Amino acid sequence: MEETSAQQAHVHAPPEGFLRKYVFSLDHKVIGKQYYALGLLAVCMGMVLSWLMRFHLVWPTTRIPGLELLSKAGAPGGIITPEYYLSLLTMHGTLMVFFVLTNAPFAAFGNYFLPIQIGAEDMAFPRFNMMSFWTTLVAFLVLILAFVIPDGPPISGWTSYAPLSAVGKDAGPGMGWGMNLWAISIAIFCIGSLLGALNFIATTLDLRAKGMTLMRMPICTWAWFITSCIALLAFAVLLPACILLILDRMAGTSFFIPSGLVISDRLQPHSGGSPLLWQHLFWFFGHPEVYIAILPSMGIVSHILINSMRKPLLSARVIIYSMMSIGFLSWMVWGHHMFVSGMNPFSSLLFSFPTLTITIPATIMTLIWLGSLYGANIRINSASLFALGFISMFVSGGVSGFFLAQPSIDIVLHATYFVVGHFHMVMGVASIFGVFAGTYFWFGKMTGRMMNETLGQLHFWLTFIGTYCIFMPFHYLGLVGNIRRYSAFVNDFTGPLMPLHKFITIAALGTGAAQLIFIFNLIYSRYKGAPAPENPWSGTTLEWSIPSPPPWNNFGGKHPIVYHDPYQYDVKGSKGDYIMQDSPEPSAG
Amino acid sequence: MSSTIYQPVRTPPPALRGSPLPAARVAKVLSGAEGASQSGIWVGIFAITMSFAALTSALFVRQGSGADWTHIALPSVLYANTLALLLSSATLQMARRAITAVPPVEPRAVPVGLGWLMATLGLGSVFVAGQFEAWRQLAAQGLYLATNPNSSFYYVLTAMHGLHVLAGIVALALVIGRIAASRATSRKSTFEATATYWHFMGILWIYLLLVLRTKL
């Protein structure tokens, strides 16, 4: 505790040597980039897994060359077995939700920019910060270890429902050590995330520069702060849940396994546990996790839109209050994932009500974005395009949420592609669009070089159109009754849907290939991009008051003093059309 | 100066002396850092509370889910352990009074404070040892982790609490080490944060004891 405290952060010397500077770094900026790199690696892996699944769905008998090298049992002769399809599905979900959607918008950008935006030299506890990244990396390695063990990855889905997740090998291939690795990995991930969240909260509360009142923090700082409050409580619940799951699996306890359970013709030596208990604990984490994924992107997008429109939002405060109420309500809605779990129908009604209520702050935010955009002379560039794309995805994916929130409709749509389409758009793609927007916006600050605009806009249009082509038809498939998680469609009535599935697969392969443009742009711009000025977008917040890239202690030993609300744009009479937060110039209002 | 353990907040520690920052600014930075330790520990306490709340709710659900819920007699050594942990909070307060008094009440404040801290550490270790003894007594009755749901929850709750107490013991040992070495940069914030955490461990244990007694 002593070593990790904030005071050291303010007096530690610039790091020397490669290891201290780039590997075991205490610098929040390096840690932010490490999280980003981990997220990028995980998203590439997750995307390849989704390609394999999509390919197998529509060309089930076509050999995928080289796949048998990944798993002899899972893909004999390069053709995926139904069980291995579930393994791929589980790993896709786990990688994406934990290591991409939690890491990239929250841990990566939050680490890099939260301290800078509040005028601090580093996080409150730099050593905890380093530990949280390395813990997360260990979690990642433990998870992907499941690919190489003979058992293979688990087939439980990313939600790992008990009792099948709790009984071991009898539940199918990958449910032995593969599942153990999953549970251990997620438990480790929880510890890393808890350390990270603790750091974010303490930093925001205590290390703000003089004049940086809470309401003067940029919207994205608010988003990271609210997200860390959610993450703190959510992962604090998932951690004991994982421990209980591990004990059921490895120590013979019966928390989640009922008595008299026969699996694979074998009576399980357990008694009296409650499978629903796992679902309650898991979704108590799992629903707030959705907001852990989306809130940071909401913040980033608001931040970028304001800058691109050159005028404040209709009300930044209402955006912040909406994010708070979303954060608060996120604790009361977990049961909407369990409408068909056999839970008391009256509970369904109870969970449905706050679920519908949560659409109110989400709608308010959308209306503020759209209302602010009305009549705005927005600068079109890769960052603002992805920010606009975020709103589009959020609305398109969110509208289906109104339907799913109602138990009577959910009974029909549950476990169909409708749900898959819904959450991929509203939580997955929308959040990733926020990450893309943030990358194009902040890349210059992070590396000292600007990203290529032409490639960026090309990347946007291909991705934007591509994701709609992939996920919009999912809603239709779901309405028709196409069940998710099946590796092949053998029923007659799904036969006519096959051309649509083929279209989706081709769109998925194409959109995935379009991401190569982004990766190329990242690497090319890192070395050959135009040098980034200090404030390329004429921004007002503190990250634009320091060199690109910032020195190791951010403000070069100086301590900024903040005079204004974060978004002083469209100010008549000032030199530009904006006033920096740390400029003593009087503001218009 | 020699009799105070840490320097008052307004004086910069050696590392910051001669820094280009104006003194008032340094003080602000330091008070931010002081605050960060305190908020850090409270945020941590919040998370720990949440974890144990989750386990408690799991206990209630599990009690209702199966017909195998029985009762176990708590090992009597638990009450001695409780006493040790409560006493350790009292000795920690005595240490706090001796060490954090400004100006120091008497020249021997530091050794006295250190003495109380050692007593706290000793009592904390007695608690952990006692918890081990309680496990041994349960095992002697044939009650292991997987024997029945009650024993499962007993082991899980006491083990998780015990691990947190062990972390507190490590923190206490660090604080004692710093103070014994009389480092001028030893900070009030670390000591205060450790003290807050330690008291919370006591409160958490009382809560757990009530749960164990009434439910198991």
- Helix A109-117 vs helix A275-309: crossing angle, to nearest 10: 50
Name chain B contacts of A194, Cβ cutoff 8 Å. Answer: 47
The whole-angstrom separation of Cα A48 and Cα A92 is 9
Cis before A15? omega within 30: no
In the numeric block, the tokens 């357990």 are attached to A270
For residues A415 and A396, give the distance between their C-alpha atoms in angstroms, rounded to a whole number.
Answer: 20
- Per-residue pLDDT tens over the stretch A250-277: 999 999 999 999 999 999 999 899 999 9
Beta-carbon contacts of residue A243 (< 8 Å; ≥ 6 apart): A187, B156, B160
Tokens of A392: 């589009």
**Which secondary structure element, helix H or strand E, spans residue A267, and what is its range?**
strand A266-267
Distance of CA A135 to the CA centre of its chain: 18
Cis geometry, peptide bond prior to residue A163 (ω within 30 degrees of 0): yes
- Chain B, nearest residue to A122 by Cα: B33
Phi-psi region of A185 (alpha: psi -120 to 50; beta: other; left: phi over 0): alpha
Which residues of A, range 373-432, sit inside 8 Å of B by Cβ? none
Of B28, B51, B66, the CB nearest to A272: B66
Residues facing A416 on adjacent strands = A483
Q: What angle do CA A535, A539, A540 make, to 5 degrees?
A: 120
Q: Which parts of A128-200 are beta strand (E)?
A: none
Euclidean distance between CA atoms B57 and A244, whole angstroms: 13
Handedness of CA A572, A575, A581, A583 (dihedral sign): negative
The answer to whether A31 and A103 are in contact (CB under 8 A) is no
With beta carbons under 8 A apart, name residues in chain B contacting A284.
54
Predicted confidence (pLDDT) at residue B15 exceeds the cutoff of 70: no
Residue B22 in contact with partner chain A when CB distance is under 8 A: no
Which one-letter DSSP state was computed for residue B184? T
Q: At A151, give phi and psi (nearest 5°).
A: -65, -30
> What 3-state class would DSSP assign to A561?
strand
CA distance linking residue A443 with residue A451, whole number of Å: 7
Span A28-257+271-579: which CATH code?
A: 1.20.210.10
Tokens 């996920």: give the residue: A471
Give the separation between CA B57 and CA A255, rounded to whole angstroms: 12
Take residue A500 and report the two structure tokens written for it. 């649509």
Q: Given CB atoms, is A210 within the 8 Å cutoff of chain B? A: yes
Residues of B in Cβ contact (< 8 Å) with A273: 62, 65-66, 149
Q: Are A316 and A567 in contact (CB under 8 A)?
A: yes
Q: Which of A11, A198, A243 sits opposite B15 (nearest CB)?
A: A11
Task: Give residue B98's pLDDT.
Answer: 82
Contact of A144 with chain B, judged by CB distance below 8 Å, is answered with: no
The position carrying tokens 């490895």 is A250
In this prediction, residue B106 carries a pLDDT of 61
Report which of A209, A222, A169 is spatially closest to residue A580, judged by C-alpha positions.
A209
Q: Rounded to the nearest 5 degrees, what angle is found at the Cα of A528, between the Cα atoms of A524 and A530? A: 115
Q: Nearest CA to CA, how far is B81 from chain A (Å)?
A: 24
For chain A, positions 212-271, list CB contacts with chain B under 8 A: 232-233, 235-237, 239-241, 243-244, 247, 251-255, 258-259, 271
What pLDDT does B101 receive? Answer: 67
* pLDDT value, residue B216: 83
Top-ranked range on mean pLDDT: pick from A346-360, B55-69, B200-214: B200-214
- Partners of A272 on chain B (C-beta within 8 Å) are 62, 65-69, 149
For residue A205, list chain B residues with Cβ-Cβ distance below 8 A: 35-36, 39
Interface contact A240-B36, CB threshold 8 A: no
- Given CB atoms, is B24 within the 8 Å cutoff of chain A? no
Nearest-neighbour CA in chain B from A284: distance (Å): 9
What is the identity of the amino acid at B35? G
Tell the residue number behind the tokens 């004990």, with chain if given.
A247
Say if residues A158 and A88 touch (Cβ distance below 8 Å): no
* Residues A148, A120 contacting (CB under 8 angstroms): no
Q: What domains appear along chain B, each with residue ranges and CATH number?
A: 14-215 (1.20.120.80)
Is A278 touching B (CB cutoff 8 A)? no
Span B75-87, average pLDDT = 96
Which amino acid, A98?
F
> Helix crossing, A275-309 with A219-250: angle to 10°?
160
Q: What is the DSSP letter of A210?
A: B
User: Residue-wise pLDDT tens for chain A (589 aa)?
Assistant: 333 344 444 455 677 788 888 889 999 999 999 999 999 999 999 999 999 999 999 999 999 998 988 888 899 999 999 999 999 999 999 999 999 999 999 999 999 999 999 999 999 999 999 999 999 999 999 999 999 999 899 999 999 999 999 999 999 999 999 999 999 999 999 999 999 999 999 999 999 999 999 999 999 999 999 999 999 999 999 999 999 999 999 999 999 999 999 999 999 999 899 999 999 999 999 999 999 999 999 999 999 999 999 999 999 999 999 999 999 999 999 999 999 888 888 888 899 999 999 999 999 999 999 999 998 999 999 999 999 999 999 999 999 999 999 999 999 999 999 999 999 999 999 999 999 999 999 999 999 999 999 999 999 999 999 999 999 999 999 999 899 999 988 777 788 899 999 999 999 999 999 999 999 999 999 999 999 999 999 999 999 999 999 998 899 888 899 999 999 998 876 667 899 999 888 775 5
Residue A579: phi and psi, rounded to 5, are -125, 130
Q: What is the pLDDT of residue B182?
A: 65
pLDDT score for B37: 86
CA distances (Å), A36 to each of A40, A109, A519, in order?
A: 6, 8, 13
Task: Identify any residues that bridge with A466 across adjacent strands, giving them in sequence order.
Answer: none
Query: What number is the average pLDDT over the span B139-148?
Result: 94
- Comparing alpha-carbon positions, the chain A residue that sits nearest to B151 is A253
Interface test with A, best of B7, B34, B43 (most A CBs within 10 A): B43
Inspect the interface and report whether the beta carbons of A253 and B189 lie closer than 8 Å.
no
Q: Is-contact A439 A302, C-beta < 8 A? A: no
Residue ranges of A 149-208 with Cβ closer than 8 A to chain B:
194, 197-199, 201-203, 205-208
CA dihedral B157, B51, A155, A435 (to 10 degrees): -160
d(CA A532, CA A217): 24
Q: Which residue of A has its CA nearest to B56?
A: A240
